[in-house]
Structure 1
Amino acid sequence: MINWFKKTNKENNIKEENNSNLESSKFKSDDKNIGFLEKLKSGLSKTRKDMSSKIEDVLSIYKKVDDELFDDLEDVLISADIGVSSTMKIIDRLKLRIKEERVSDSTEVKILLKDEIKNIMQESVENNEFLLEPHPSVILVVGVNGVGKTTTIGKLAYAFKNNGKKVLIAAGDTFRAAAIEQLNEWSNRAGVDIVSHSEGADPAAVIFDGIQAAKARKIDILICDTAGRLHNKTNLMNELNKIFRIIDREYSEATKEILLVLDATTGQNAINQAKVFKEVANITGVILTKLDGTAKGGVAIALQTELNLPIKVIGVGEGIEDIQPFDVETFIDAIFN
């Protein structure tokens, strides 16, 4: 079963038997009876073709390891949206590793490159796990319009509910009537309750009501949507800070996550959005969507190594089950294998 929560050994032992029966029914493709690892590999096929295949093409040209080989590898990594800064870190570490291990055969380079990308991603953040226990907990979801914020909230609610959690959604994006309607639809699909006001209402008031409802109903996880506007950094900061104050004052006992939703298909633009939100909010993690429709999956590597933002969730499809916690090893294996 896919683990969405960091549990103690005692909790794992108690719940292991109850959860084992869910494995065959959850996170299974509606169209193909395949495991989620295979679905991840399928979803990352464009990134794998653009990155791993090109790396193999470069290595096949060279019989020995030299500076020209490293230059060509740099070009491949940068074109895969890993970014210049992250690429240089990776190549520098690769050069050192090759020197230390006295590697002279170019065919061995891919294995070392894959290993160094894993290492640098894992070293850049403390971990990639959801920190939502002990309950109650609250997730504040931020991000610009069009990145898949509403869809992601619905998918998270569904996943958490299937993990035995009591979930409530607060529709804090009151600037778009469509956002409220879409979130209502997703809450119905996920089978969870929602707290919403009318279009134009104060977002902080919606979050306040959501918190009160969560307390009254003994909810495990409250998921709060926010307006997806990046019109002005100061205004964005003021809007979010008002919501933060409400949460700190009314729900101080809750474990908190502030998750930034980014669209993988936008490549380096996702990095720019992350930089802005990182300045105005204490982002605790990233949700990277639409990985199945892009060759720009390398942006995941850049987000974690350049900005030190842990990727906590990835989406690789449109179905309600097409979402999973991010794992560095599984992700890199899916790109390189």
Structure 2
Amino acid sequence: MPSRLPPATLFTDPAYIAALEDSGCVTPETGWTPRHIETVAGRVWCYEKSHSWGEFVFDFEIARVYRQMGLRYYPKQVACVPFTPVPGPRLLAADDAGRRALGATLREQAGRAGSGAHVLFLPREELALLAADGWIGRAQPRYVWHADGAADFDAFLARLPGKKRKNIRAERRKLTELTIEWRTGAELSDTEWPQVYALYAGTYAQRGQEPYLNLDCLRRWADAFGARMSFCLARHGTRLLAMAFFFEDGDTLYGRHWGAAMPVDALHFELCYYQGIERCLARGLPHFDAGVQGEHKLARGFAAELAYSAHWFAHDGLHAAIGRAFADERQRLESWVAAQQAPGAGTSGDRLASGAH
């Protein structure tokens, strides 16, 4: 089923990309070598990758198969917005002819260096254009909230099954001692900025990873996008306990990252989901994109939809075999999404088969 969301454009704004690159988050040293395509047809934000981290379209198994066959998978050409699994235009041209020309240029560039080319989180229309030229498509689940006419949070809850309503209200009651507020970057003090960043970085530290973003990048985004980038802060007394940050683009709120100083039951759901829903309702935004992964979002009023990517592998045999595997995976996912969208679907729906992730 096609997504009801329009394609996001804030994330392909040159200012968004420049913040990633100029801050040092996206560089050859971090495994992202810019190979942007600029032609008379248009532009593609593209990188030569030496790894698969930060893409959110997981191909580690494909890289393993390449290694077993004695083939090199890296470098590969990836047209994407680094660390940003938000669907939106990737072949930035005025018409379909221009988009197909950009796709051909990307494929030619990949053929000269690396195992293939990948266009991540592109609209279905762009996927169809590339598929006509031999690219193979892949799908993965994402989770989106739609207002569907709800005027307030109670009206949103009223359309949910009773068990979901009860659970959400119980989760929110656990946090009544916290103070929650929304701030723009301009409203954060020089003392608060490092605290906010430390909360974000702490989420990665818990997993033994280096954070993808640095403080300079966040501040560059805040300067570039003003009120379109907002922070939801949770305090216990005077202590900043947790934060989540978001972007607004058109009629949609996009949840990005969060972090907490300590584990607090239900705080993640409050800051990342319920506060975002309330902000959409207050600001008249009909859609809230909470991102890929996280089947637990279904129990909190989000709908399952599909995100798409397009792939071309220079090895003909592997291109065909991977294409068959992606087709089977997509068929399973489409059936699962249809089951979640069916009237009378269960409280959490049938769980997604592990092979479809």
Q: Same fold (TM over 0.5)?
A: no
Name the structure with the higher strand share.
2
TM-score (norm 2): 0.27
TM-score (norm 1): 0.29
- Relative contact order, higher structure (CA 8 A, sep 6+): 1
